[in-house]
Amino acid sequence: MIVYVEVEFMIPTAHSLKEKRAVLQRMITRTKQKFNVSIAEIDHQDVWQRTRLALVSVSSSKASAEREINHALHFLQSNPAWEQLEVWRDYL
C-alpha cells in the first residue's frame, strides 16, 4: 500500500527565501530521520512564506502506511514556526 500526502504550510516568520529554507530544511531532515517516509518540497520554491510538501509511505498494509504518515504529519504540524493550510491524501 502506498499513501501519498500533500501538505501546504504558511511560514509567517520568514522574511526571505533563506529564512524559509532554514526552517524547511530542518523539518525535512528531522522528518526523514524520525519516520519511514519520503518527503520533498514540491511547490512554492520561490515564495518566501509558503511551501507545499509531499510525503509518501510504502508498506505491506494500509494501516501501517497510514500510521507512519499520520505520525510524520503530527510532527510537522507541531512546529510553531509555521501553520498548516491544507492536506490532501491519496491511496495507491
Ordered by where they begin, the domains of the chain are 2-91 (3.30.70.1120)
pLDDT given for residue 74 in this prediction: 97
Please identify every stretch of the chain with a pLDDT value under 50, giving residue numbers as ranges.
none
Order of strands, edge to edge, in the sheet holding 83-91?
A: 38-43, 50-58, 2-10, 83-91
pTM of the model: 0.91
Q: pLDDT tens digit string along 17-26? A: 999 999 999 9
pLDDT given for residue 61 in this prediction: 93
pLDDT given for residue 64 in this prediction: 95
pLDDT given for residue 75 in this prediction: 97
Question: DSSP H helical segments within the chain, as ranges?
Answer: 17-34, 62-77
pLDDT given for residue 16 in this prediction: 93
